[in-house]
Amino acid sequence: MSASFAYRRRVQFAETDLAGLVHFSMFFRYMEEAEHALWRAAGLTIARAGELTGWPRLAASFDFKAPLRFEEEFDVYVNVAHVTRKTMEYTFRIACGETHVGEGRIKTAFVSKRPNEPMRILELPADIIERLRSAAGD
Amino acid sequence: MSASFAYRRRVQFAETDLAGLVHFSMFFRYMEEAEHALWRAAGLTIARAGELTGWPRLAASFDFKAPLRFEEEFDVYVNVAHVTRKTMEYTFRIACGETHVGEGRIKTAFVSKRPNEPMRILELPADIIERLRSAAGD
Amino acid sequence: MSASFAYRRRVQFAETDLAGLVHFSMFFRYMEEAEHALWRAAGLTIARAGELTGWPRLAASFDFKAPLRFEEEFDVYVNVAHVTRKTMEYTFRIACGETHVGEGRIKTAFVSKRPNEPMRILELPADIIERLRSAAGD
Amino acid sequence: MSASFAYRRRVQFAETDLAGLVHFSMFFRYMEEAEHALWRAAGLTIARAGELTGWPRLAASFDFKAPLRFEEEFDVYVNVAHVTRKTMEYTFRIACGETHVGEGRIKTAFVSKRPNEPMRILELPADIIERLRSAAGD
């Protein structure tokens, strides 16, 4: 099994719903939090207010295998899985102790977003990809 | 083009992020809100606090085609797409006026969740499926 | 009893927590949604991405009298209560049918926020205050 | 200056809004997260799914002094401030490095919530209060 970047997190009360479990939409936030922790581990930050570039999501998915509950601690493992000239896909695996909680994907692109212009997809910056891959052990 | 159930919604301020657009995790909430509106249109409610059955998500995905912005009004179109003995998959399409915002899927199951027992997947209740299909125009 | 602006809303599933009720932090979002609906009713919008002015919150409070539950419909009543040269305070009352759910306050200011400068509080624009008061029936 | 319990947290991307700052409703979640961390430090947990007692909020307020931004790390300091026979009030102070971000209060009660009965306020359990006070250094 290959290396991954690991991000540890605890379930907060407001993240649960009346079914007593973490709401399914939260897993997309957990994946993104792990992505941003990977950027920090690579000495980078993914966003600054007012910037004219960004990393919007093209697609996101998650397969739910086991629920998470209030106050449980879990790990989100991130890898940089597929990189093309203009898109990057992360894969994620969530585990709570021995329990496999699920796995997901987020596909992203690098865009220019000038005021009053449509977003324009740019080539991925090679140095950023290299640093992320390296921080993820890929 | 086949019929769908339509749910209208307006983007709220807290749903945006520092990139100035709706945060990608919100689209999963918008899909779920539309699902629950479909249940109400079918004369049903998907959840009651303390119930010993539930409809947990098995998988969820969304493909993002255009962003949504603060105060924009959009429509979420729902269909009951694939039904097996134990799983049901909804498909969703989001549009903001003429703009195709994206499309997604949520796969769900019907479970029994008694205290101190693992969740157990049950057969889908045929009458509920029938009413949802009918409300969605499927 | 004086007039108010009324905003109707339904509780969504993701807004509940494992206690089976709406999470208390959501009431602050409900108040803000009602505030923004008041701005729209006055022919205004409170925010645009990239703007160099804004309406940050100085204080917010809520007194909880009765819980809200999944799928309940409720009304948020807004008034423009106290206006000084540089601050405006809204008052809110939430009711679900005959049930008094609670009441709250949000105090806000009008600021200039140029890049790389600290926020600076400006005088409130008199025409905006006038239009909000009028839309709220104050 | 008296002791407090300190909870450290980092701002996540989804917690910001289009103004480029943390959304004001998040500060209520940060206060609650710190409260629950205090409970854990006291060897307690505030909630379990399906429990017939709970700690609903009676009132909550926050005074905002400075904004928080994406990826900033901050500390939430908690104290058990006022305890009566049936209510307990926490006070909170948030700091980001040398910056005073704001302060708030949450007032809570201990209730019994049996199915199909209205919530009933009970006397506060003295041992829990003692352990929380001790963990907060009060």
Distance, CA of D103 to CA of D63 (rounded, Å): 5
Mean pLDDT of D100-125: 93
Share of chain C above pLDDT 90, in %: 88
Neighbours of C (≥3 Cβ pairs closer than 8 A)?
Answer: A, B, D
Q: How confident is the model at residue D118 (pLDDT cuts 50, 70, 90)?
A: confident
Give kind and range of the element (H or E) at residue B81.
strand B73-83
Greatest mean pLDDT among C44-53, C113-122, D76-85? D76-85
Q: Contact, A37 vs D73, CB < 8 A?
A: no
**Which residue, C63, C67, C77, C88, is CA-closest to C30?**
C77
Q: Name which of D62, D108, D111, D121 to mutate to probe chain C: the one with the most chain C Cβ atoms within 10 A of its Cβ.
A: D62
Beta strand segments in chain A, E: 5-10, 53-54, 57-64, 73-83, 88-96, 99-108, 110-112, 120-122
Q: How confident is the model at residue C107 (pLDDT cuts 50, 70, 90)?
A: very high
Is pLDDT above 70 for C18?
yes
pLDDT of residue D11: 98
Does C1 have pLDDT greater than 70?
A: no
Structure tokens at B38: 């479909």
Is the torsion defined by CA of D23, C62, D122, D76 positive or negative?
positive
Using left for φ > 0, alpha for ψ between -120 and 50, and beta otherwise, residue B125 falls in beta
Residues of chain A falling short of pLDDT 50? none
- Kindly list the partner chains of chain B, i.e. chains with 3 or more CB atom pairs below 8 Å: A, C, D
Q: What pLDDT, on a 0 to 100 scale, did the predictor assign at position A3?
A: 87
Put simply, the answer to whether A13 touches C25 (Cβ < 8 Å) is no
Nearest-CA distance from B21 to chain C in Å? Answer: 8
Residue among A20, A32, A47 minimizing CB distance to D49: A20
**Residue C87, C-beta contacts closer than 8 angstroms, at least 6 positions apart:** C58, C107, C108, C109, C124
Q: How far is B138 from chain A (nearest CA, A)?
A: 25
* Contact criterion met (CB < 8 Å) for D19 and C63: no
- Residue D126: count other Cβ atoms within 10 Å of its Cβ: 10
For residue A57, the model assigns a pLDDT of 97
Q: Is D49 on the interface with A (CB under 8 A)?
A: yes
pLDDT for residue C113: 85
The kind and range of the H/E element at B101 are strand B99-108
Say how far apart CA A54 and CA A47 lie, in whole Å: 7
Kindly state whether D65 is in contact with chain A, defined as any CB-CB distance less than 8 angstroms: no
pLDDT one-digit tens code per residue, C23-70: 999 999 999 999 999 999 999 999 977 788 999 999 999 999 999 999
Q: Are residues B70 and D18, on separate chains, in Cβ contact within 8 Å?
A: yes
User: How far is residue C89's CA from residue C109's CA, in Å, rounded to a whole number?
Assistant: 9
Residue B129 has pLDDT above 60, yes or no: yes
Q: How confident is the model at residue D2, as a pLDDT?
A: 67
* Residues with Cβ within 8 Å of residue A42, at least 6 apart in sequence: A128, A131, A132, A134, A135
Instruction: Report yes or no on whether pTM surpasses 0.95.
Output: yes
For B36, B44, B50, C97, the CA distances from B47, given in Å and listed in that order, are: 9, 9, 9, 21
End-to-end CA distance of chain B: 11
In terms of DSSP bridges, do strands A88-96 and A73-83 run parallel, antiparallel, or are they unpaired?
antiparallel
Please state the rounded mean pLDDT for residues D1-15. Answer: 92
pLDDT of residue B73: 98
Is residue D45 scored above 80 in pLDDT?
Answer: yes
Nearest Cβ partner of A57 from B18, B60, B64?
Answer: B64
Torsion of CA C28, C29, C34, C38, to 10 degrees: 100
Q: Which chains lie within 8 Å of chain D at 3 or more CB pairs, if any? A: A, B, C
Q: Mind listing the pLDDT tens digit for each residue in B20-48? A: 999 999 999 999 999 999 999 999 999 87
Residue C20: which H helix or E strand, with range? Answer: none
Q: Is it the case that residue B1 has pLDDT exceeding 60?
A: no
Mean of per-residue pLDDT scores for chain C? 95
- Interface pTM, i.e. ipTM: 0.96
B50 pLDDT tier (thresholds 50, 70, 90): confident
Residue D107 binned pLDDT confidence (cut-offs 50, 70, 90): very high
Q: How close is the nearest chain B Cα to the Cα of A22, in Å? A: 11
Query: Closest Cα to residue A17, out of C23, D14, D60?
Result: C23
Q: What amino acid is encoded at C72 in this protein?
A: E
CA distance D38 to D77: 10
pLDDT tens per residue across span D87-98: 999 999 999 999
Spell out the SS3 assignment of chain D: CCCCEEEEEECCHHHECCCCCECCCHHHHHHHHHHHHHHHHCCCCCCCCCCCEECCEEEEEEEECCCCCCCCEEEEEEEEEEECCCCEEEEEEEEECCEEEEEEEEEECEEECCCCCCCEEECCCHHHHHHHHHHHCC
Residue B91 identity (one-letter amino acid):
T
What is the helix (H) or strand (E) element at residue C32, kind and residue range?
helix C26-41
Which secondary structure element, helix H or strand E, spans residue B37, and what is its range? helix B26-41
Q: Where are the beta strands (DSSP E) in chain C?
A: 5-10, 53-54, 57-64, 73-83, 88-96, 99-108, 110-112, 120-122
| C50 in B contact zone (CB under 8 Å) | yes
pLDDT, residue A2, reads 67
Q: Percentage of residues in chain B with pLDDT exceeding 90?
A: 88
Tokens 């289009």 belong to residue: D18
A126-136 helix and A26-41 helix, angle to the nearest 10 degrees = 100
In angstroms, the CA C55 to CA C42 distance is 16
Q: What is the DSSP letter of B14?
A: G
If one counts every other C-beta atom within 10 angstroms of the C-beta of residue A87, the result is 15
